[in-house]
Amino acid sequence: MLSPRHEGFISYCSNHQQTPTYLQLNIHNNLTLRHYFRYGYA
């Protein structure tokens, strides 16, 4: 179950696909989620 903060971030990324490649967006998502989990926002 994702927190509202996660859902907001994911929908933001879905609505702003202006990054050069999908791969870069995916890497960004992975790093951000890892940051969230590490600092206990989940």
**pTM: predicted TM-score of the whole model, two decimal places:** 0.26
* 3-state DSSP percent of the chain in helix, strand and coil, to 5: 70, 0, 30
Tally of structural domains, the chain: 1
Residue 42 pLDDT grade (very low, low, confident, very high; cuts 50, 70, 90): very low
Domain region containing 32:
4-38
Q: How many CB atoms lie within 10 A of CB 9?
A: 17
pLDDT reported for residue 22:
64
pLDDT digit string, tens, across residues 3-38: 656 666 666 666 655 545 666 667 777 777 777 667
pLDDT reported for residue 34:
76
